Amino acid sequence: MSSLSHPEPQTFDANTFAAHTLSSPQNLAAILDHTLLKTDATRAQVLQLCHEAASHRFACAMVNPTWVQLAASALQGTGIPVGVVIGFPLGATLSASKRDETARVLKYGAHEVDMVLNIGLLKSATHADYEAVKQDIRGVVELAHGAGAIVKVILETCLLTFEEKLRASELALAAGADFLKTSTGFSTGGATVDDIALLRGVAGTRAGVKASGGVRSLADASAMLHAGATRIGASASVKIVSELSDRQPESSPAPSSGY
């Protein structure tokens, strides 16, 4: 990578997207990744997550790899995809391990893969390290795209400088990422409005931007959407949609897809 400058901008109208998304509970649910990634999550809790994802028509049910088969079985026939995290939460596993994990969860029914970028390599800041970061992502992307799945790359923005956020975003996009994602929710901080705006500025209309970590209310979700997010990962998805339902109980047209 020879420059940290943004790619030639392509306009993404965050306010229009946010207005559409917030126009009905159904539209809002369609961009929420309903998430259960805590260490002590049980079988019963995963099944409840899947039930809620199907009932509310969330974008996906996001689980740890050990629960992919259970979630895929529970969601079979609902049209709600299973999302899974890879190399989570540190991103420091071997690239071969990330690829193997990806191949296995795809076989078991995952359709969305949220992988953690190798943060230590990124911060090592040599050309070889940047190339290794990109290839780490590309290995997962190639497997996922080959199976018709999408990849969201978790940058863990709370650990990065401004320039590192730009560099990480550029590397992820160059490797074929479908979404830039802020956070694991397991580090020192989560999504911020400033980081969402920064990632959207790099992505333009080429990729989605996912806000994750600390989004617990409708106000939080609205702020992220107006900053440029097109997906939100939250364990409080039901509460967030319920807040909007209380304000606007009448339904609106079904959401459109896109970034």
Query: CB atoms < 10 A from the CB of 11, how many?
Result: 7
Q: Is 210 a catalytic residue?
A: yes
For residue 121, the SS3 value is helix
Compute the distance between CA of residue 202 and CA of residue 37 in angstroms, rounded to an integer. 28
- Look up residue 141 and give its two tokens: 């992307």
Q: Are 119 and 156 in contact (CB under 8 A)?
A: yes
Angle at 48 between CA 64 and CA 223, to 5 degrees: 70
Closest CA to 196 of 173, 174, 229, 170: 229
DSSP 101: H
β-bridge mates for residue 62, sequence order: 35, 83
Catalytic residue among 98, 134, 165, 181: 181
Compute the distance between CA of residue 212 and CA of residue 221 in angstroms, rounded to an integer. 10
Angle at 109 between CA 71 and CA 239, to 5 degrees: 40
The length of the chain in residues reads: 259
Catalytic residue among 33, 134, 210, 220: 210
β-bridge mates for residue 212, sequence order: 233
Catalytic residue among 114, 136, 195, 220: 114
DSSP 128: H
Task: Tell me which residues are annotated as active site.
Answer: 114, 181, 210
